């Protein structure tokens, strides 16, 4: 750190291969002397959907540990912070890491949700989760209200799904995704989506007023849940790896691309993986709260 009163930080854009797109991420590199209140103050100062704080691991298998904060609360796990953290960790520690034969790096990341495996290839990383919960059906009314939509916009059952962090999943008609608008007071969050399996694409948005995030430009944890949801409703036919390219954030002027893989074996969902790139846009030092 530059001195005892400041912290080294960077700002990354995640789920994009160019600056000033994707989802912004505040990164504090040495948070060992910070308590939770200070981390929350810094996350609020960054103002992004999430900020992360690097810490030494507490699990023997982990390379590093991160804590993840929205402007309003701490999360046990989140996607774009995990992708950004892994890419940045490899960038800063290549001299201490051993590449795989393919030239990629495998790191073990510890969060409050446990230790997850992330594979880093240059500026791109893949996060795989096996912590799968197929979820339960929900009342779609509050979710539609939170997105400013009506019952006629719904295109399937609303239900929960989790691959490390639970999300409220709402399938809607294709034209409804662009028309949606965040409305507070209906539900704390809603992930609305329209997918085309034949084309291998999905168009999604996430509104999270209850998390202090009116709209998120790219949501890796929810993309994982999309794979879980689609399996739970029988959308994937047969064993194998089912892939989707997920588009998010264009309505905010921050277009994002998330790669999704859902692995089915013996008719069972074995894992879901989300991938994306991360680029650094700024770095510096900030005061300790």
- Residue 268 burial (CB count, 10 A): 10
Q: Helical H runs in the chain?
A: 36-46, 79-93, 140-146, 174-179, 220-232
Number of H helices, E strands in the chain: 5, 16
| Catalytic residue (one of 50, 88, 110, 215) | 50
The backbone torsions φ and ψ at residue 137, rounded to the nearest 5 degrees and listed phi first, read -65, 150
8 is catalytic: no
Question: What is residue 11's three-state secondary structure?
Answer: strand
Contacts of 116 (CB under 8 A, 6+ apart): 77, 82, 108, 109, 127, 128, 129, 164
DSSP letter at 209 equals G
Question: Which tokens belong to 255?
Answer: 């277009």
Residues with catalytic function: 50
């Amino acid at each position: 750190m530059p001195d005892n009163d400041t912290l080294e930080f960077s700002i990354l854009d995640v789920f994009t291969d160019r600056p000033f797109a994707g989802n912004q991420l505040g990164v504090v590199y040495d948070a060992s002397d910070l308590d939770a209140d200070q981390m929350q103050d810094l996350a609020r100062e960054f103002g992004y959907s999430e900020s992360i704080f690097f810490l030494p691991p507490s699990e023997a298998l982990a390379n590093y540990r991160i804590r993840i904060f929205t402007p309003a609360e701490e999360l046990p796990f989140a996607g774009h912070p995990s992708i950004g953290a892994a890419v940045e960790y490899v960038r800063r520690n290549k001299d201490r890491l051993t590449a795989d034969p393919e030239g990629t790096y495998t790191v073990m990341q510890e969060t409050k949700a446990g230790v997850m495996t992330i594979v880093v290839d240059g500026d791109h990383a893949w996060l795989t989760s096996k912590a799968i919960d197929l979820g339960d059906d929900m009342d779609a009314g509050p979710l539609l209200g939170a997105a400013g939509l009506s019952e006629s916009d719904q295109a399937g059952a609303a239900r929960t799904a989790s691959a490390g962090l639970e999300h409220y999943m709402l399938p809607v008609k294709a034209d409804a995704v662009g028309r949606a608008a965040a409305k507070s007071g209906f539900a704390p969050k809603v992930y609305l989506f329209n997918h085309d399996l034949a084309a291998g694409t999905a168009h999604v948005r996430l509104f999270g007023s209850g998390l202090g995030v009116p709209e998120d430009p790219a949501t890796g944890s929810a993309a994982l849940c999309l794979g879980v949801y689609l399996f739970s409703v029988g959308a994937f036919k047969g064993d194998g790896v089912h892939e989707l390219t997920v588009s998010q954030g264009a309505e905010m002027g921050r277009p994002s691309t998330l790669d999704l893989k859902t692995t089915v074996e013996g008719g069972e969902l074995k894992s879901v993986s989300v991938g994306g790139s991360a680029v650094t846009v700024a770095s510096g030092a900030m005061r300790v709260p």
